[in-house]
Structure 1
Amino acid sequence: MTPTTAEETVDVFGPDSMLRRLVNEARWGLAVTRATVLEAAHPQIGAALIGNSTFVTHPWRRLRNTLVSTQRILDPDQHVRSREAARLNRLHARISGTDPQGRRYDAADAEARAWVVATLFESAVTMYRLSGESLDGPAMERLYAEFRTVLALLEGDSDQLPATLQEFWPYYDDMIHHRLESTEAVRVILYRLFANVPAPPLLRNHPAVWAAGRAVAGPVAAAITIASLPESFCRRFALPDLPGARALMHGAYLTAGFAARLLPSGWVNAGSFMSLLDPDHAGGSGPWESVRRKAGQAAAMVRLITPAPDEVNHASRSADQFFAEVLDQTGDGHLAWPDLAAMAREIATRLDLDELDEERLYNAYAAWWRELQSHLDADGDGRVTRQEYAASAASLPSSGLVKIADVLFDVTDVDDDQTIDAQEYQRLFRAAFHRDLTGRADSYSRSAFVRQFLSFMSGQQRSIAYNSLLS
């Protein structure tokens, strides 16, 4: 079998593509969650996740962005696919560093990226099997070829994955037994993410409701995920085999499979479920919209009965709060370049920036980081603690933030008329226009836009729009 090249992807993902159909099903989330644990056990990927990712502090944002990116990668338009592949390559090229053992990691490492694709393929096969829908030989080979084509689109070739399905399984077993490690990222996903996952946007203002549900759902999700992993993986990393977990896991997968086969496609579409969790997600008028509205009403009623401390309506927040809620994007308790890079990455992803505008945005954030370091990093260790920030936040200069605001205005003002209108504003924030836009004639001038950005990023004023984007 000749290695697939990027040029061969032109007509691969047509209407009959197995992969395009699969990733638009809500049950794909089961496979992705399982694959993420296997990916995190790769030393390169695990180190990159811990050092740079926001998957623990912003899992719903990460889920939404992954869904959008996958849809772009599988778009019938070759230009859309190529543009997204280039964006992902730039994103990964910016993520590198050294793990606690002193080993270098690089998110653009070809072997690691191939392992991501391998885990997704194997998890998809497992998902079908556990859902009572095993793939036959030709279907499995076709699905494997489609996954290899995705890798070719990103890498330029698919040489890092075995050429045939028969060669894939020995490769996969060898990775499980000899290449993977019990990384911190695996432990964080299984024992911290599920237990402490923040509320989705729908329930963000109803903490009591979410906390009650998470107390039950968190351990169940962890048990289901562990029970679905390869037995050799679980044995090697001493993951617990809880009583009843396998029956629970089989029940979850079978239920998802029955739903995918029996319910109307609109009810089990990934986009519909995302709109249920996130009212700002595109497609919020789907079949789950009435359910979402009723859930919101019920949550509001529960909150009236069991009110939680309400800080959302306060005009300002302390420097300590702002540090925790906005600046510390990675959730490690410190402010460092990966936190600011995560903000730039989110904005670039939201606006689908081209390479030039993306570079301008990252450079502006880098200038702000140098400014923060020079004023706040008292011990010179390359990061800022919450205490260091809180002690000096009131006296910080704002020239770096002004640079970011100027770039943000330029990339949001698509028609270059020096104002940001409703459509441009919603493209950035995906929030209700009438609640947030305060400029004259339903538009923002550059000065008004910069003022609001500086007010938010200095912690002086809350903003529904910027909270939805960065908090």
Structure 2
Amino acid sequence: MFGPGSQFHELFDDPRWALAMVRATVLEAAHPQIGGALIDNSTFVTHPWRRLRNTFLSLQRMFGADDQVRAKEAARLNRLHARLKGRDASDRPYDAMDPGVRAWVVATLFESAVTMCRLSGSPLPPSAVERLYVEFRAYHAALGDESGQLPPTLAAFWSYYDRMVEEELESTEAMRIILYKLFDHLPAPPLLQGLPTLWAIGRAVVGPAIGAITVASLPEPFRRRAGLPELLGAGTLMQGAYLTAGLARFLPEGWLRAQTIADLLALSPGSDDPRARTVQALQERMKRAGALLRLITPAPFQPEPAAPEPGQRSAEEFFRDVLDQTGDGYLTWPDLAAMARELCGRLDLDEPAETRLYAAFADWWRELQTALDTDGDGRVSAAEYAAAAPSLAGPALIRTAEVLFDAADKDGNQHIDAAEYRALFRTGFHRDTTTDSALYTRGVFVRDFLSFMSGRRHSTPYDPLLADA
């Protein structure tokens, strides 16, 4: 069912997943409950690369050969989903633990895997489709969900899928954001943030193309009901894109490994990984080339804006880059919950430690709400935050830093060593971070965390953790 030899394992490093995952995410977001949960809780708009890597790692754990790893990941996902419930903008309830909702997520992944092969001109043989469906049903069962939510046979699945598409899916706000806003405003991955012009040009070309390709690949009945326009030539563009991605499978082995690509997307500029240094060297050469081009073709003079003090960011920048994790323009509990979720995932915490960290962040949210929510609407706006110019280092934030230290200090020796440091920050341990000590002590850790969260200072380890996309 899982690991090497499975049908899914044969497709895991397939470059066509780059298109298929976008398509599956759109179909998920078109479900009213999933769409509501995404709008209220997800960081997919502000931190898409983080979300992509976390999804990849979760699939890798669930479809791997290690039963213990799979059971632990399933328990983690269930705890995460149990926290995602509420009411959407139309006052309709959503619950990420709803059995039908969870079955639909698995269904979109399976159907998009089959569709990506068909659209690229190399459809899976019927026996392989049957085998893949059995594996996805096993994945669904590993999550502990009710067996009757996904049909028992492949023939019954297609009837279920058609009914969901024709009767349940809607043109939700989350779906429209993914199709028409996400790629237009897609932030650069960490290693390309120093090349804003190059990234903006590439995004302006590729973003609309991905949107058109995704729309053209969606089921026709849903496109009609949702009023999604199919641009002239979009079908040809879609088939060409899937065919090109399919041909990339024949590149030398290892060139397009999903693990390698995910790691590159997650590398921070300050990482000690040799690949990060290689990409940074390439960045410097491209910057010099860009400077030479501007020298040859000078633009009209424009005064340079005043540069902030080294290491400082304004209150507005801090609110946007760090506090507003969901990107809706307000600070609410889901923003701090997103921080806790990322930290728990980085540290691979078990249930008791995870609960303590969430509780600490919940106390911090209540402290922030009491201090900053001047109009009493239950959220903190960017204006309320900037006007107060608060010192956020209250008792609850200090407690959050201490709980985070305890979670990172796996061996409980009151020091964070190199391995524990890397687990949290995904970068090498830097001696200068801890002044004269080779170990990260509790006091230094708490001081650095408070400096970042209340002093609005840029931080080499914390920016990739909480601010970068």
TM-score bracket, normalised by the shorter chain, equals over 0.9
Counterpart-to-counterpart distance in 1, 2:455 and 2:144: 41
**1:76 and 2:65 correspond:** yes
Gaps of 5+ in 2: 296-303
1:112-138: CA deviations, max 9, x gaps?
A: 110011111111001011122211111
The structural deviation recorded for 1:394 is 2.7
**1:272 and 2:260 correspond:** yes
Match of 1:4 in 2: none
Letter matched to residue 113 of structure 1: R
**Contact 1:48–1:96 under 8 Å retained in 2:** yes
**Contact 2:391–2:454 under 8 Å retained in 1:** no
The structural deviation recorded for 1:213 is 1.2
Classify 1:108/1:298 alpha carbon distance in 2 versus 1 (closer, same or farther; 3 Å). Answer: farther
**Alignment partner of 1:380: what SS?**
coil
Gaps of 5+ in 1: 1-11
Match of 2:298 in 1: none
Classify 1:378/1:290 alpha carbon distance in 2 versus 1 (closer, same or farther; 3 Å). Answer: closer
Classify 1:357/1:55 alpha carbon distance in 2 versus 1 (closer, same or farther; 3 Å). Answer: same
The structural deviation recorded for 1:291 is 7.9
Classify 1:37/1:310 alpha carbon distance in 2 versus 1 (closer, same or farther; 3 Å). Answer: farther
Counterpart-to-counterpart distance in 2, 1:158 and 1:284: 43
**1:378 and 2:374 correspond:** yes
Match of 1:41 in 2: 30
Which structure 2 residues correspond to residues 304-383 of structure 1 after superposition, within 5 A? 304=291, 314-383=310-379
TM-score (norm 1): 0.92
Match of 1:202 in 2: 191
Q: For 1:146, which of 130, 135, 138 is the aligned residue?
A: 135
Counterpart-to-counterpart distance in 1, 2:352 and 2:281: 44
**Alignment partner of 2:149: what SS?**
coil
Q: Tell me which moved more, 394-403 or 145-154.
A: 394-403
Letter matched to residue 263 of structure 1: L
Counterpart-to-counterpart distance in 2, 1:218 and 1:298: 26
Letter matched to residue 415 of structure 2: T
The structural deviation recorded for 1:313 is 7.2
Q: For 1:54, which of 32, 43, 49 is the aligned residue?
A: 43
Match of 1:431 in 2: 427
Say how many residue pairs are matched: 457
**Contact 1:275–1:284 under 8 Å retained in 2:** no
Counterpart-to-counterpart distance in 2, 1:285 and 1:350: 21
**Alignment partner of 1:408: what SS?**
helix
**Alignment partner of 1:332: what SS?**
coil
**1:463 and 2:450 correspond:** no
Classify 1:327/1:303 alpha carbon distance in 2 versus 1 (closer, same or farther; 3 Å). Answer: farther
Counterpart-to-counterpart distance in 1, 2:342 and 2:60: 17
Letter matched to residue 406 of structure 1: E
Q: For 1:390, which of 379, 386, 390 is the aligned residue?
A: 386
**Alignment partner of 1:115: what SS?**
helix
1:70-105: CA deviations, max 9, x gaps?
A: 111112111100000000000000011111111110
**Percent of counterpart pairs with the same letter?**
57
1:131-172: CA deviations, max 9, x gaps?
A: 222111111010001011111111344320111000011111
- Taking only aligned residues, the RMSD between alpha carbons, in angstroms, comes to 2.3
Q: For 1:440, which of 436, 442, 463 is the aligned residue?
A: 436
Q: For 2:251, which of 247, 260, 263 is the aligned residue?
A: 263
**Contact 1:47–1:99 under 8 Å retained in 2:** yes
Classify 1:18/1:457 alpha carbon distance in 2 versus 1 (closer, same or farther; 3 Å). Answer: same
**Alignment partner of 1:458: what SS?**
helix
Letter matched to residue 211 of structure 1: A
**Contact 2:141–2:147 under 8 Å retained in 1:** yes
Classify 1:33/1:171 alpha carbon distance in 2 versus 1 (closer, same or farther; 3 Å). Answer: same
The structural deviation recorded for 1:398 is 1.5
Counterpart-to-counterpart distance in 2, 1:396 and 1:336: 15
Match of 1:183 in 2: 172
Counterpart-to-counterpart distance in 2, 1:313 and 1:88: 42
Classify 1:311/1:79 alpha carbon distance in 2 versus 1 (closer, same or farther; 3 Å). Answer: farther
Match of 1:301 in 2: 288
**1:126 and 2:115 correspond:** yes
Classify 1:343/1:221 alpha carbon distance in 2 versus 1 (closer, same or farther; 3 Å). Answer: same
Counterpart-to-counterpart distance in 2, 1:269 and 1:283: 21
**1:18 and 2:14 correspond:** no
Counterpart-to-counterpart distance in 2, 1:435 and 1:301: 31
The structural deviation recorded for 1:314 is 2.6
Match of 2:300 in 1: none
Match of 2:299 in 1: none
Q: Tell me which moved more, 418-427 or 301-310.
A: 301-310
Q: Tell me which moved more, 434-443 or 202-211.
A: 434-443
Letter matched to residue 301 of structure 1: R
